[in-house]
Structure 1
Amino acid sequence: MSAPHPSRKRWRAAGAASAGAILLGTVGFTAVAGAEEAAPQPVPEAPADSAPLAGAELPFVTQEAEDAEHGGSVIGPDVTQGTVASEASGRSAVELAAGQSVTFTLTEAANATTVVYNVPEGTQGSLTVEVNGQAIEESIPLSDRFQYFDAPWIAGSTTHHFFTHERLPLGQDLAAGDTVSFVANGPVTLDGADFEQVAAPAEAPAGALDVTELGADPTGQSDSSQAFVEAVAQGRGGTVWIPPGTYQVNQPLYVENVTIRGAGSWHSVVHSSRFVNQGEGPGDVHISDFAVIGDVTERVDSNPDNFVNGSLGPNSSVSGMWLQHLKVGLWLTGNNDDLVVERNRIVDMAADGLNLNGNAHDVRVRNNYLRNTGDDALAMWSLPQANSGASFDGNTVIQPNLANGIAIYGGENIQVTNNYVRDTNALGSGIAISNQAFMEPFFPLSGTITVDGNTLVSTGALNPNWDHPMSALRVDAYNHAIEADINITDTTVLESPWSAFQFVSGSGTGLATDRVTIDGAEVDGVGTVVVQAETTGEVTIQNVTATDVGAAGVYNCPFPTDKAPLTINDGGGNTGLDTEWDDCETWPQPE
């Protein structure tokens, strides 16, 4: 899509017959550098003591390395695509040389940690771990194996996926006030660390079929595929138990009418890059409380390198899982009616975290944590059939490094509620509500799309294909006009590097956006504008409070230029939107 050209802009009171531009002074804001500049684009970080206003209930506490005691060098803040800092949470991290360290002071009890790190390409290393100044026996291995991904078939992408997670039991119970130090044994960039109190392994349910009774090897030395295949076949109608241990499963499973359960995601660990792969199933599958860790070192879209690829069948669930180093956590096609996906950690995916890829009815995805995905963290694609009645509720999404935090592409009566999305990169917004078809048949947005109670922190990006920004929350009439009722309510936007709300027809054809209402939003910090309107149609905005606005309240320049500008009905209760960018030949640059 090319940049829009001059046109008349419109901002009018609801029900008024005509409009006039309202030009007042702007509020200064220091944010990213200009789009045309080669210099890094710094972005202010959200206040360190600000608590998430939405998102998942997490069993761990995250501490940022740049906020801890350290002997290294802070990089960032920076939102420039392709830089290591831009893919760190808070857009900052700490570079350590050999012998340098980061020391965290615990705020809650913990007996385990997970570090998020980057090492230079082609290198390996380790971190010595010290508890209250004393080195423990175990160290944390470091490797670039799951870093530096390329996807040249995706226009506008660069090398990405700079960070990965490594977890370690600390071997002792620590209290608030204790310290944990990570000492570098070579160059490493530390983004941060999670600390948690991991419960003891759960006991096997009565009557469960133990995979080790069928020959599964809990040492991980030999392939346990046959034992798992036999267990899920024999265990139909009951529970298959995965006791503490490490298992290799190199053959994907077919599952139906079975519960597969582990002793906890820190205790029962399955190494598999293709755990379930099936087109359809009768359903009643329940998978919970173990880890599936793959070995996916590149994104190959034709490969089913996913935890679940296809259908679990109706009335199924996935809960309490740790999913890592796969292409996609759950790529869901076929019949998954009434599926519940909750309380999972999905990290270091080469592509999506979860994608409802058509025919998803009444699916509930809630209270999950997703970080460092190589595409949309949570997505719904209404192709080749429509999704309906599905919801993303109360999830936490951190740093999708190539696309959106949450993306809804078509579908009927969809809900996106109470989610916390932070630090998007390159080709995405925090939340995208879109009619981008990708392929046919595609089912555009219809019915009522509810987007309520979401918090977006440092989201939006400079799209290298458009050469202009994508906002924190985007409504996109890409291939089809927006004709659904889209209700965006109670939204919090903090420190967006570019803009807060965007109305666009991303294909460059100027399809209309209608029947959209923004009602209730707190916007604190945007680099350019609050409302970025680039297509025609009519929307209503009310009860929006915007502060620290960079260039102007509204940019309203449709493309193509023969289209009428977006009619923005002022429903009342707005502050910070009463200025307009008046030069459609230029893009406002962050101030």
Structure 2
Amino acid sequence: MTRHVRSTPRPTHKWFAAVATAGLVGTLVTGLTATGAQAAEAAAGATLPFTSVEAESATTNGTRIGPDYTQGTVASEASGRQAVRLAAGQSVEFTLGKAANALNVAYNVPDGQSGSMAVYVNGQKISKTLAVTSKYSYVDTSWIAGSKTHHLFDNARLRLGQDLQSGDKVKLEATSTQVTVDVADVEQVEAAAGKPSGALSVTDKGADPTGQGDSTQAFRETIAAAKGGTVWIPPGEYKLTQSLNNVDDVTIRGAGNWHSVVRSSRFIDQSGAPTGKVGLHDFAVIGEVTERVDSSPDNFVNGSLGPNSTVSGMWLQHLKVGLWLTGNNDNLVVEKNRFLDMTADGLNLNGTAKGVEVRDNFLRNTGDDALAMWSLNTTNSDSTFAGNTISQPNLANGIAIYGGRDITVKDNLILDTNALGSGIAISNQKFMDPFFPLAGTITVSGNSLVRTGAMNPNWQHPMGALRVDAYDSAIEATVNITDTTITDSPWSAYEFVSGGGTGKAVKNVSIDRTTIDKVGTVVVQAETPGAVKMSNVKATGVGSAGIYNCPYPAGSGTFALTDGGGNSGWDSTWDDCSTWPRPGGGNPDPDPDRNLTRSRPATATGSADVYTPAKAVDGDAATYWESTNNAFPQSITVDLGKTEAVRRLVLKLPPSAAWGARTQTLSVQGSADGTTYSTLTESKGYRFDPADGNKVTITLPGSTPDVRHLRLRVTANTGWPAAQFGEVEAYLS
């Protein structure tokens, strides 16, 4: 299988050209109160069989971490960008809002560690424990520009063995290792379904429901014998050591995805042309994929199921991709499934498909686009992603449409994108040829985007909550975006860009009826020539300005923004195309007491293992940068985004008692252009002592020049043969 890399970087921008800026024209209407995240979640997304409870809103004696949007941190990949870190012996307790007998927990443990959590029901410890492991986490994809170690969370499920009622309490206690708990899904699992009339059971062909023996051949023989009918997977656990290759004109059904479990990293792999009507229903396929190998078909379905097929009621976990669909999958319906912990996509329609409906599914913790259509070789057409809930894709987009004709994206709820992705991307990024660009009408309607968009580390510019991207060719299709809710976007709401950096136009876009409640920087991020008409876009809580209109490259053209009426709350324009506005900054001047380095780009002369410079500006002193060992001098540099009158630094080490007192010898340097540095304070020793919070304050002289680039140069450390900082903070006073 040829796998594409969808995070190919746009060339580094030089944002210093004087570019004509178009403002809104017409009367702006006020008077809308934007809905919050809770209302947004209620208005769109899947109908789910479980209720999710966030750890940070539960009772705990652990440490709440976040909110954080810094790529590579645990909190940044968490639901709501917050979680609870438990040391051994600490706990988090959830109060149930409805009846339940099972739970699934999203969690993180430190790399290389495994353990368990004790489970208490109404204060009584039960005999079952919840296993936790880093085995499926900490994925590295060095071939994807801008990626860092990611996929930091995992999911673990447990049946409690008793029926609980609303108001009952479930407590999870870390026992042998640190566990960061993100969210618990609680549900009432129904009893196992019975065998359908006339179905052939895999156990009749020798499948082993204990999971000890290899059931591959039994599954193959049952599928062959049941052609035109139904294969039954009774309750139990079944191990497959090889994929199934001739699945055609057959239904495979289990007793429920908590009851019938297949352990396999490659369930169906077939490149032929099935006649279709394959049904896959009501069982779990749980793999052992621990890394992303794009040449390996480590997928639930790899290839084609044939036309008129259906997939429903599945629990898919620890695979590379849920469904990587090539060939004829016309009129396929994929509904009411759970996709958890994929190292790449949840589902990708890889060309050819017509009339596909992907609806009412739940996807969490995918390592690439959660749902994607990619029109390679032939075009996808007349297909729909509708009513899905997508949470925490940790490398790419929630939903991505790469080319295709007459595509619909409607009524989806997308939360907490990270790193190289938007909530929704409508794009002509081709990755390889032959590619079929967007055509016909692309309908994007009724979607809710919560905390979506990310700072692209390749661009040093964000990807908006909803992005229209003329990456490799101009947008010629008609793109209609209506009835959108954008809530708590960390960066921008709408982005219009040519991600390849060549200034291709975004045309034929209209936006009507959008509610925006809190956006970190701007409502409109226009970075390429083109045009959009915006009507009834109502924004509150705009961080910097309404509009950033700076097409790249210089001289490539202008972006025309037409006011269709009914807009409010975003009529200001960012007036400096040489800088990107900091969240919450810009016009008017931001809070003078803010930490200037928070979430800013940081670089260093070297790093030890995973202790990268970004961890010194992530707002969490428990994470830290450590330089290359035994290689003084070492330095860390932070780009503040614009020149600032820095007058005070606060340097921190992790507060744990395990960090003993030490003295680091360092000087402070600054630069306005990132090339020529001056010394702001001469080199001297600074003592970090746990008794004083393991922090040091450095006051800069009043004559210190304004600087954009702040550098700490370290020549010695009495506690370790490297430079170390948990946080590097800078303030105006």
- TM-score, normalised to structure 2, is 0.76
193-202 or 48-57: bigger deviation: 48-57
Say which SS state the counterpart of residue 232 (structure 1) adopts. helix
Shift of 1:249: 1.1
Q: 2:120: which partner in 1?
A: 130
Superposition pairs of residues 409-558 of structure 1, within 5 angstroms: 409-558=402-551
Structure 2: distance between partners of 1:88 and 1:435? 30
Distance (whole Å) between structure 1 residues aligned to residue 137 and residue 518 of structure 2: 32
Q: Contact 2:24/2:571 (CA < 8 Å) preserved in 1?
A: no
Instruction: For residue 11 of structure 1, report the CA deviation from its aligned partner.
Output: 2.7
Q: 8 Å contact 2:40–2:448 — kept in the other structure?
A: no
Q: 1:265 aligns with which of 252, 257, 261?
A: 257
- Give the equivalent residue in structure 2 for 1:352: 345
Does the alignment pair 1:98 with 2:110?
no
Distance 2:228 2:219 in 1: 16
CA distance in 2, matches of 1:51, 1:513: 30
The 5 Å alignment of 1:311-460 reads 311-460=304-453
Contact 1:52–1:455 (Cα < 8 Å) also in 2? no
SS at match of 1:52: helix
What is the letter of the counterpart of residue 22 of structure 2?
Answer: R
For the residues of structure 1 that align with 2:72 and 2:532, how far apart are their CA atoms?
35
The Cα of 1:569 is off from its aligned counterpart by 0.8
Q: Aligned equivalents of 1:309 and 1:168: distance in 2?
A: 29
Tell me how large the CA RMSD over aligned residues is.
1.3
**Structure 2 counterpart of 1:145, one-letter code:** K
Could you tell me how far apart the structure 1 residues matched to 2:135 and 2:579 are? 42
2:108–2:180 Cα contact (<8 Å) kept: yes
C-alpha distance 313-81 of structure 1, shift in aligned 2 (>3 A):
same
Residues 320 and 428 of structure 1: CA distance in aligned 2, closer, same or farther (over 3 Å): same
1 CA distance for matches of 2:576 and 2:531?
21
Q: What is the Cα deviation at residue 384 of structure 1?
A: 1.4
Could you tell me how far 1:3 is from its partner in structure 2? 4.4
1:41 aligned residue = none
Q: Which moved more, 1:211-220 or 1:49-58?
A: 49-58
State the distance in 2 between where 1:195 and 1:256 align: 36
* Aligned-partner SS, 1:204: coil
Q: In structure 1, what residue type is equivalent to 2:457?
A: P
Q: 2:77: which partner in 1?
A: 87
Q: Which of residues 567, 573, 590 in structure 1 aligns to 2:583?
A: 590
Q: Deviations over 1:495-542 (max 9, x none)?
A: 000000000000000001110000110000001000000011111000
In structure 1, what is the equivalent of residue 612 of structure 2?
none
Is 1:46–1:90's contact at 8 Å kept on the other side of the alignment?
Answer: no
Alignment of 1:6-85 (within 5 A): 6-13=18-25, 51-85=41-75
2:37–2:450 Cα contact (<8 Å) kept: no
TM-superposed CA distance for 1:125, in Å, is: 1.0
The equivalent residue for 2:189 is 198
CA separation of 1:237/1:50 partners in 2, compared to 1, >3 Å: closer, same or farther?
closer
For residue 149 of structure 1, what is the amino acid of its counterpart?
V
User: Aligned with 2:223: secondary structure?
Assistant: helix
The one-letter code sitting in structure 2 at the alignment partner of 1:159 is T
Q: Does structure 1 conserve the Cα–Cα contact (< 8 Å) formed by 2:102 and 2:158?
A: yes
The alpha carbon displacement at 1:13 in A equals: 3.8
Greater relative contact order structure (CA < 8 Å, 6+ sep): 1
% identity of equivalent residues? 64
Residue identity matched to 2:91: S
Deviations 1:316-375 (A, max 9, x none): 010000000000000000000000000000000000000000001010000000000000
CA–CA separation in structure 2 for the residues paired with 1:188 and 1:51: 27
Q: 130, 149, 166: which one pairs with 2:139?
A: 149
| 1:242 paired residue number | 233
- The answer (yes or no) to whether the contact 2:40–2:485 under 8 Å persists in 1 is no
Structure 1 position 463, deviation (Å): 0.1
Q: What CA distance in whole angstroms lies between the structure 1 residues aligned with 2:39 and 2:128?
A: 32
Larger radius of gyration: 2
What is the Cα deviation at residue 193 of structure 1? 0.5
Q: Using the alignment, how far apart are the partners of 2:38 and 2:409 within structure 1? A: 26
SS at match of 2:203: helix
Q: CA deviation at 1:51?
A: 4.3
The 8 Å contact of residues 3 and 467 in structure 1, kept in 2 or not, is answered as no
Hey, what's the Cα distance between the residues in 2 that align with 1:68 and 1:112?
A: 18
Q: Work out which of the residue numbers 198, 204, 207 in structure 2 matches 1:207.
A: 198
Q: Give the count of matched residue pairs.
A: 563
Contact 1:12 1:567 in 2 (8 A): no
Following superposition, the deviation at residue 301 of structure 1 comes to: 0.1
Deviations 1:7-66 (A, max 9, x none): 01113548xxxxxxx99xxxxxxxxxxxxxxxxxxxxx9666874320000000000001
* One-letter amino acid of the counterpart of residue 581, structure 2: P
Unaligned ranges ≥5, structure 1: 15-21, 24-44
TM-aligned CA distance change 1:374 to 1:46, over 3 Å: farther
Counterpart residue type for residue 492 of structure 1: T
- Matched residue of 2:365: which SS? strand
Question: Match for residue 278 of structure 1?
Answer: 270
Give the partner amino acid of 1:427. L
2: CA distance, partners of 1:145 / 1:115: 16
* Structure 2 CA distance for partners of 1:121 and 1:12, relative to 1, 3 Å: closer
> Do the aligned residues in 2 keep the contact of 1:351 with 1:373 (CA within 8 Å)?
yes
Shift of 1:460: 0.2
- SS in structure 2 opposite 1:349? coil
Of 133, 139, 161 in structure 2, the residue corresponding to residue 171 of structure 1 is 161
Deviation at 1:420, TM superposition (A): 0.1
| Secondary structure of 2:43's aligned partner | coil
How far apart, CA to CA, are the structure 2 residues paired with 1:585 and 1:260? Answer: 58
Q: Aligned partners of 2:73 and 2:148: how far apart in 1?
A: 10
Q: Find 2:108's aligned residue among 108, 114, 118.
A: 118
1: CA distance between counterparts of 2:54 and 2:312?
27
Contact 1:396 1:420 in 2 (8 A): yes
1:19 paired residue number: none
Work out the CA distance in 2 between the residues paired with 1:576 and 1:442.
39
Q: What is the CA–CA distance in structure 2 between the aligned matches of 1:46 and 1:442, rounded to whole Å?
A: 39
Distance 1:244 1:159, change over 3 A: same
Following superposition, the deviation at residue 192 of structure 1 comes to 1.3
Encode CA deviations 1:520-573: one digit per residue, 9 max, x unaligned. Answer: 100000010000000111110001000000111010000011022200110000
Question: Does the 8 A contact of 2:45 with 2:412 survive in 1?
Answer: yes
For residues 142 and 537 of structure 1, what CA distance do their matches in structure 2 show?
A: 50
Does the alignment pair 1:162 with 2:149? no
Shift in CA distance, 230/319, structure 1 to aligned 2, threshold 3 Å: same
- 8 Å CA contact retained: 2:419, 2:456: yes
| Structure 2 CA distance for aligned equivalents of residues 425 and 73 of structure 1 | 23
